[in-house]
């Protein structure tokens, strides 16, 4: 009988299959914010399996202090919060949830794109504030998407799903990726490969779908924002630190770009205060995978991976390290 510790509750009943044969302890979110290394060490000191989220910093220090730990089951596709080398060194298997949140995240990118293009946030406020006294000819005019260019940075699974949706809106799609996608992907998505500079200069909407790493850190910096059209929108459902948030605040303030839809932030859960008072910015608290279906499937994958490890299976499904 293994001890499984979850740092957050999942959907109701999600871990029931594990409870039949193991001890499962589910912790409530910490009211004071995201957990620190010390918090995690305290939670996981006796755990065989830790069920983690992106906000849990799983560092070498944590692995060293949790000698029973056999596995980290990450409830996310990204493993940015986990020191994978340290996990391997300490003999800890890491699993994650790739694939099942692709459509949910692509939908969220489109929700933010449309909201920014058509002032949905300001329009809602306008009605609530009692300003809808008559139909107006020039109030809250937005960007029409047909024939506009969508620039996708990172044509992985999510980037491709965003591109496929763009076909329905009649947009031209260009993309930039570290490596050019294969011809089949290009054909299916209708996306044309261009340099990043070209993408920034020609896109009416730039949507980010690359992972965060050394190469993509602050990929969208002051110079990149300056290259964008003054009428362009930036959408980020990838990782906050792909964008230099201070530079973005400045670019929005100076009118170097027209607006943004942001699901992720450089220092989550903190949001740059300069973003909060911008009219043309739509914000969401990292909701990319937040559909019932995606969260249910993520939980199923987590359970499947944990069962494999605890049964000593030779190959662990959805393994990240």
Tell me the closest approach of the beta carbon of residue 237 to ligand GLV, in angstroms: 8
For 117, 203, 228, 286, 297, the CA distances from 17, given in Å and listed in that order, are 44, 48, 50, 28, 14
Is residue 98 a contact point for ligand GLV (CB under 6 A)? yes
Can residue 101 be called a binding residue for ligand GLV (CB under 6 A)? yes
- On whether the CB atoms of residues 225 and 247 are closer than 8 A, the answer is yes
Identity of the residue, 149 or 289, whose beta carbon is nearer to ligand GLV in the bound complex: 289
Question: Quick one: which of 26, 29, 4 has its CA closest to 13?
Answer: 26
With binding defined as CB under 6 A, does residue 3 bind ligand GLV? no
Question: Taking CB under 6 A as the rule, does residue 319 contact ligand GLV?
Answer: no
Q: Shortest Cβ distance from residue 79 to ligand GLV (Å)?
A: 8
What three-state secondary structure class fits 116?
helix
Handedness of CA 306, 308, 310, 315 (dihedral sign): negative
Convert residues 57-96 into a mask of x (bound to ligand GLV by CB under 6 A) and - (unbound): -------------------xxx------------------
Q: Shortest approach of ligand GLV to residue 288 CB, angstroms?
A: 5
Question: Does 112 contact ligand GLV by CB under 6 A?
Answer: no
- The catalytic residue among 35, 165, 239, 318 is 239
Residues in binding contact with ligand GLV, number by CB under 6 A: 13
Q: Per rule CB under 6 A, is residue 99 in the interface with ligand GLV?
A: yes
3 is known as an active-site residue = no
Contact 276, 302 (CB under 8 A): no
CB 205 within 8 A of CB 237: no
Is 304 a known active-site residue? Answer: no
Taking CB under 6 A as the rule, does residue 156 contact ligand GLV? Answer: yes
**∠ CA 253-257-262, rounded to 5°:** 85
Residues between 37 and 56 with contacts to ligand GLV, criterion CB under 6 A: 54
Q: Which two tokens stand for residue 317?
A: 């499904």
Stretch that binds ligand GLV, among 85-93, 119-127, 140-148, 154-162 (CB under 6 A): 154-162
Q: Is 239 a catalytic residue?
A: yes
Q: How far apart are CA 178 and CA 151, in angstroms?
A: 14
Q: 235 CB contacts (<8 Å, ≥6 apart)? A: 109, 112, 113, 116, 205, 206, 207, 208, 260, 261, 262
Interface residue list for ligand GLV (CB under 6 A) = 54, 76-78, 98-99, 101-102, 156-158, 288-289
Active-site positions read: 239, 268, 286
């Amino acid at each position: 009988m293994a001890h499984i510790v979850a740092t957050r509750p999942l959907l109701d009943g999600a871990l029931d299959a594990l409870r039949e044969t193991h001890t499962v302890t589910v912790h409530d979110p910490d009211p004071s914010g995201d957990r620190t290394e010390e918090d995690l060490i305290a939670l996981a000191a006796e755990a065989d399996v830790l069920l983690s989220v992106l906000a849990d910093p799983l560092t070498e220090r944590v692995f060293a202090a949790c000698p029973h730990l056999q596995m980290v089951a990450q409830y996310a596709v990204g493993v940015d919060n986990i020191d994978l080398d340290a996990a391997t060194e300490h003999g800890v298997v890491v699993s994650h949830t790739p694939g099942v949140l692709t459509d949910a995240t692509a939908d969220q990118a489109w929700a933010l794109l449309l909201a920014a293009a058509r002032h949905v946030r300001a329009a809602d406020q306008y009605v609530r504030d009692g300003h809808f006294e008559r139909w107006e000819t020039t109030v809250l005019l937005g960007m029409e998407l047909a024939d506009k260019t969508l620039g996708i940075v990172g044509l992985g699974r999510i980037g491709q799903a965003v591109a496929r949706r763009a076909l329905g809106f009649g947009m031209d799609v260009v993309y930039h990726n570290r490596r050019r996608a294969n011809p089949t992907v290009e054909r299916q998505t209708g996306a044309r490969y261009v340099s990043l500079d070209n993408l920034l200069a020609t896109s009416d909407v730039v949507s980010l779908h690359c992972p965060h790493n050394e190469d993509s850190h602050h990929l969208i910096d002051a110079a990149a924002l300056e290259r964008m059209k003054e009428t362009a929108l930036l959408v980020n459902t990838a990782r906050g630190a792909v964008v230099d948030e201070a530079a973005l605040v400045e670019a929005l303030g100076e009118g170097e770009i027209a607006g943004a839809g942001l699901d992720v932030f450089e220092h989550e859960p903190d949001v740059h205060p300069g973003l909060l008072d911008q009219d043309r910015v739509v914000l969401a608290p990292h909701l990319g995978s937040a559909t019932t279906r995606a969260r249910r499937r993520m939980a199923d994958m987590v359970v499947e991976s944990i069962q494999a490890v605890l049964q000593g299976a030779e190959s662990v499904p959805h393994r990240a390290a």
